[in-house]
Amino acid sequence: MLPRKLLLLLLVAVGVEAGVEFAYEGFPAAGLSLDGIASVTPDGLLLLTNDTDLNLAHAFHPAPLRFHRTSSFSTTFVFAIVSELNDLSTSGFAFLVAPTSRDLSSAMAAQYLGLFNASDNGDARNRVFAVELDTVRNPEFADMNDNHVGIDVNSLNSSAAAMAGYYDDATGAFRNLSLASREPMQVWVDYDAAATEITVALAPARSPRPRRPLLTTRIDLSTVVADTAYVGFSSGSSIVMCRHYVLGWSFSLDGAAPALDHAKLPKLPRIGPKPQSKTLAIALPMVTTAAVLAAVGVGLLLLRRRLRYAELREDWEVEFGPHRFAFKDLFDATAGFKDKRLLGTGGFGSVYRGVLPGTRTEVAVKRVSHESRQGMREFIAEVVSIGRLRHRNLVQLLGYCRRKGELLLVYYYMPNSSLDKHLHGHGHALDWAQRLRIIKGVASGLLYMHEDWEQVVIHRDIKASNVLLDGDMNGRLGDFGLARLYDHGADPQTTHVVGTMGYLAPELVRTGKATTLSDVFAFGAFLLEVACGRRPIEEEEEEDVYGDVDRFVLADWVLGHWRNGAIIRAVDAKLGTGYDAAEADTVLRLGLTCLHPSPAARPSMKQVMQYLDGSAPLPELPPTYVTVNMLAAMETHQGVLGTWAVWRSASSVATMSDIGLSGR
Ligand SMILES: *[C@@H]1O[C@H](CO)[C@@H](O)[C@H](O)[C@H]1NC(C)=O
Ligand SMILES: *[C@@H]1O[C@H](CO)[C@@H](O)[C@H](O)[C@H]1NC(C)=O
Ligand SMILES: *[C@@H]1O[C@H](CO)[C@@H](O)[C@H](O)[C@H]1NC(C)=O
Ligand SMILES: *[C@@H]1O[C@H](CO)[C@@H](O)[C@H](O)[C@H]1NC(C)=O
């Protein structure tokens, strides 16, 4: 007989766990095998997703288990889905059993839950069993709704699914549960190999297991779960910041999963702002009525002053101190943010004109309402780092201030407002030479951000309304990185989550990842906008007979003129004949080149500069060139444009998570 210790060593060596039962109440010492963005927090919570970048998250029991064709299994876990937003979450997550031979790194995030990808969904060779807790309705998987529990065998098209909830033991009534309610809940999953029956139950945490299960279905897993397999959890992030936590988990092969002691589970982090500190309370001296009244008066004055100038400051901001403005200074600079100081209101907030006390510097103060703290630290770090960018075609950022629910950004004031006002407004139109100078200026600012600075800075929201004109009518790019803030904080009210319709590169819509080449795409849309004096996409007011809103797509229109051998006819009619035909020809063709659907076919900003200043000839467009919109129309109904359309409405839960991947 082998000595016990040697046997143990052998087992460890083949990496298969002989123990068939485990229980974790918190995971600080579980030694889970984690990949992607999954992590165990210092409190011992398993945190699957914590970003908005379409990343994968997997967490498995440290060693794979040996399943047999006749193995039954049982598991239970307590989880919570905590979204930054009240009524919006990313797709959920899943408990899974997957063979060790499976390479999960080729799975996809978002609605694929880190389980499958678009090509292997439904493939019997996957041999993956999963129970999904899904908070998004994905029509492509025939999901029943946006809050369901599903049994998935090799496919995200669930074999059986039920609305999240449980049957009350006492009354038998069905009670809804909202998976994304941020409240912990418990799931029980049992597979009885003899009866080939799977049962799933769900209940609020600390409630006993409901007698009547939520789901019962007969599926023979003997060819699915048989072999050495990992057991654990899988998820993928998407554009909404949403955290999937597992608080405790137990499992048993051929037995009942050990019960979890809720008292021993780690606590979820508190959500929402800290309770108000007591310092606002005013101690009232109980002397005479008069004294009390006087104290109240003074107290109210102090309180008012305090509230008026209240700021939000956190420890991590110390290092950014020099870039921090006092709210009182900004308040005074803008005469209390009076309406007559209002320069404009855009997707990201309102901008006020002001003069800083002391230095008398003219500034523009942008108030961005922003409830979420998530990503704020990275954002401020980025703002401060961008504040060090110095270029004559970039709007200089001076610093910031934070208040509750609000971020204030301080820029140098640009006296001639934004370019879109001159292009589309009623004011005096720009002549061709001015337009070309602005185009070249913006290109050089962008080249500096992309290639010439110490780190690559991606703008993410290039468009005419983000180009401001200084006293000499030079174009200067502003609003760097704001799109990024919304990326992290994902505000459903704004359509600017990662940019602006018509300027969004198709791969950015699909993957959520901004690159220098997605900036080049937006720059292409900008070129056409400036040369033609029209917006990239214009909606017609009236619906047509089919009830569709007609849409004017600038790139398609310019391409049509090019095909007819007269691209120059696309030039803004307001210019009359007052433009240089060769220059306009270059700008228009360059616009289309930058708008190429394939990032690899777009020029870099360095090449763009060379084409613009004539130091390199602009290659002809290939005769086969099509715009993104045309390509989408050629593809099936769910094309990129379809995604754009839903992106713009940005209110439907189902479509929010589609954004990443449904374009394919
Ligand atoms: C997400 O978790 C990873 C791993 O712990 C950590 O490095 C990263 O900073 C976290 N990101 C966010 C946005 O919290
Ligand atoms: C999908 O996953 C399979 C593994 O199941 C992998 O072989 C394939 O390359 C992946 N496909 C894509 C497009 O990533
Ligand atoms: C999943 O369901 C969708 C919608 O019904 C269907 O088009 C698709 O073919 C299904 N895929 C698989 C793998 O069953
Ligand atoms: C449960 O949810 C369903 C679907 O959302 C809804 O129709 C029903 O009214 C809800 N029931 C209760 C008791 O909230």
The secondary structure of 283-318 as a DSSP string is: PPP-S-HHHHHHHHHHHHHHHHHHHHH-----GGGG
Measured from the alpha carbon of residue 49, the closest ligand is 1
Q: What is the pLDDT of residues 157-208, one digit of tens each?
A: 999 999 999 999 999 999 999 999 889 999 999 999 999 999 999 999 999 9
Q: Which atom of ligand 2 is nearest to the CA of 103?
A: 4
Helical spans, DSSP H, in 241-368: 289-309, 327-333
Q: What pLDDT is recorded for position 88?
A: 62
Phi first, then psi, for residue 473 (nearest 5°) are 60, 30
- The structure tokens listed for 504 are 């969004």
CA of 210 to the centre of ligand 2 (A): 39
Atom 6 (ligand 1): residue with closest C-alpha? 37
Q: Residue 72 pLDDT > 70, yes or no?
A: yes
SS3 1: coil
CA of 119 to the centre of ligand 2 (A): 6
| Average pLDDT over all residues of the chain | 80
Q: What pLDDT is recorded for position 429?
A: 79
Q: What pLDDT is recorded for position 284?
A: 33
Q: Is the distance from the beta carbon of residue 118 to the nearest atom of ligand 3 less than 6 Å? A: no
Catalytic residue status for 420: no
Atom 5 (ligand 3): residue with closest C-alpha? 142
Q: Which atom of ligand 1 is nearest to the CA of 51?
A: 13
Residue 461 pLDDT level (bands cut at 50, 70, 90): confident
Q: Which atom of ligand 3 is nearest to the CA of 123?
A: 13
Q: Is the distance from the beta carbon of residue 140 to the nearest atom of ligand 3 less than 6 Å? A: yes
With pLDDT > 70 as the criterion, what percentage of the chain qualifies?
Answer: 75
Q: What is the pLDDT of residues 589-610, one digit of tens each?
A: 999 999 999 999 999 999 999 9
Amino acid at site 144? M
- Mean pLDDT, range 254-274, rounded to an integer: 85
With beta carbons less than 8 A apart as the criterion, state whether 399 and 365 touch. Answer: no
With beta carbons less than 8 A apart as the criterion, state whether 634 and 626 touch. Answer: yes
Positive or negative, the Cα torsion across 497, 503, 508, 510? positive
Q: Is the distance from the beta carbon of residue 35 to the nearest atom of ligand 1 less than 6 Å? A: no
Domain with CATH 2.60.120.200 in the chain: 4-264
CA-CA distances (angstroms) from residue 356 to 310, 363, 366, 476?
A: 19, 7, 14, 21
CATH of domain 4-264: 2.60.120.200
Q: What pLDDT is recorded for position 73?
A: 96
Flag the least confident range among 312-321, 411-420, 440-449. 312-321
Q: Residue 478 pLDDT > 60, yes or no?
A: yes
Q: Which of 27, 32, 37, 382 to mutate to test the pocket of ligand 1 (most atoms within 8 A of CB)?
A: 37
- CATH H-level, domain 419-653: superfamily: Transferase(Phosphotransferase) domain 1 (1.10.510.10)
- Mean pLDDT, range 300-329, rounded to an integer: 64
Flag the least confident range among 117-126, 147-156, 435-444, 629-638. 629-638
Q: What pLDDT is recorded for position 547?
A: 55
Q: What is the pLDDT of residues 126-139, one digit of tens each?
A: 999 999 999 988 88
CA distance 115 to 235: 7
CA distance 50 to 57: 9
Q: Residue 13 pLDDT > 90, yes or no?
A: no
Of 426 and 57, which is predicted with more confidence? 57
Measured from the alpha carbon of residue 53, the closest ligand is 1
Range picked from 140-144, 295-299, 359-363, 377-381 for highest mean pLDDT: 140-144
Q: Which residues pair with 367 in a beta bridge?
A: 350, 408
Q: Which atom of ligand 1 is nearest to the CA of 375?
A: 13
SS3 415: coil
Domain with CATH 3.30.200.20 in the chain: 307-412
Q: Which of 143, 461, 491, 519 is catalytic?
A: 461
Find out whether 421 is annotated in a ligand binding site: no
Q: Is the distance from the beta carbon of residue 106 to the nearest atom of ligand 2 less than 6 Å? A: yes
Residue 649 pLDDT level (bands cut at 50, 70, 90): very low
CA of 631 to the centre of ligand 3 (A): 24
CA-CA distances (angstroms) from residue 131 to 61, 149, 161, 239?
A: 16, 7, 9, 23
Q: Residue 480 pLDDT > 70, yes or no?
A: no
Domain with CATH 1.10.510.10 in the chain: 419-653
Q: What is the pLDDT of residues 503-548, one digit of tens each?
A: 888 888 777 778 899 999 999 999 999 999 999 988 776 655 555 6
With pLDDT > 90 as the criterion, what percentage of the chain qualifies?
Answer: 48
CA of 174 to the centre of ligand 4 (A): 9
Tokens 């007609």 correspond to 550
Q: Is the distance from the beta carbon of residue 37 to the nearest atom of ligand 1 less than 6 Å? A: yes
SS3 588: helix
What CA dihedral angle connects 94, 100, 101 and 102, to 10 degrees?
10
CA of 95 to the centre of ligand 2 (A): 21
- Mean pLDDT, range 35-55, rounded to an integer: 91
Q: Which of 39, 83, 378 to mutate to test the pocket of ligand 1 (most atoms within 8 A of CB)?
A: 39
**307-412 maps to CATH 3.30.200.20:** yes
